[in-house]
Amino acid sequence: MLHTKIIDIKNSKLSIEKAETFISSQDYGASIFFSGTVRNQNNDQIVTGITYDSHDELVIKSFEEIYYETSQKLNIKNKSVFIEHAKGYLSLGEISIVVAVACKHRDEVYVLSRYFIEEIKKRSPIWKKEHYKDKESAWLKGNPILHEKD
């Protein structure tokens, strides 16, 4: 089972509770909730917030590709996965991403959770513009996108 969504934070917020409701099942004995939040510093700069930009369709496609490839690459077929990413301006401490996974055993959820967040970083077209206390806002440099055919 897979749930994916880009959340425009003008309309809604990300929440762990929603993820818990989705992945909760008596079929699974292990679950992990990963959340990314906006922190107050980066590269020796005082950060006051981050604006997230997203190519929504391509991001959702990348989430789905990562989900389906975990069946083959990691051989984890029986799983429930919830992924939401924020879009728009987030203040310090607000949640930018939730990756929640549930499987039968703990080994699988640790591997799966880590795999999702690392692949999202490499393959999902999401951008961050950092806002600073004492200087002009700036887009973070990032890395060229990797995609399925790479």
Partner 1 sequence: MKVKIELYGASRDFSKQSFLNFEVDKNSTIKDIRNRLIDYLDEKFNGNENYKKIVNSSAFCSADNNIVSDNYKITSNEKIAIIPPIGGG
Residues forming contacts to partner 1 in the complex (CB under 8 A) are 36, 52-55, 57-59, 61, 85, 96-97, 117, 120-128, 139-145, 147, 149
Which CB atom, from 9 or from 97, has the smaller least distance to partner 1? Answer: 97
Instruction: Identify whether the C-beta of residue 12 lies closer than 8 Å to the C-beta of residue 88.
Output: no
Q: How far is the CB of 112 from partner 1 (least distance, A)?
A: 16
Which CB atom, from 23 or from 97, has the smaller least distance to partner 1? Answer: 97
Q: How far is the CB of 12 from partner 1 (least distance, A)?
A: 18
Q: How far is the CB of 114 from partner 1 (least distance, A)?
A: 12
Which CB atom, from 59 or from 102, has the smaller least distance to partner 1? Answer: 59
Q: How far is the CB of 86 from partner 1 (least distance, A)?
A: 9
Cα-to-chain-centroid distance, residue 89: 16
Which CB atom, from 20 or from 56, has the smaller least distance to partner 1? Answer: 56
> Under the phi-then-psi rule, with left for phi > 0, alpha for psi from -120 to 50, and beta for the rest, what region is 63?
alpha
Q: How far is the CB of 105 from partner 1 (least distance, A)?
A: 26
Query: Which residue is listed with tokens 């425009």?
Result: 8
Which CB atom, from 10 or from 141, has the smaller least distance to partner 1? Answer: 141
d(CA 128, CA 54): 9
Query: Which residue is listed with tokens 């959770």?
Result: 113
| Burial label, 6 (beta-carbon count in 10 A; 0-12, 13-18, 19+) | buried
Q: Which residues contact 75 (CB under 8 A, 6 or more apart)?
A: none
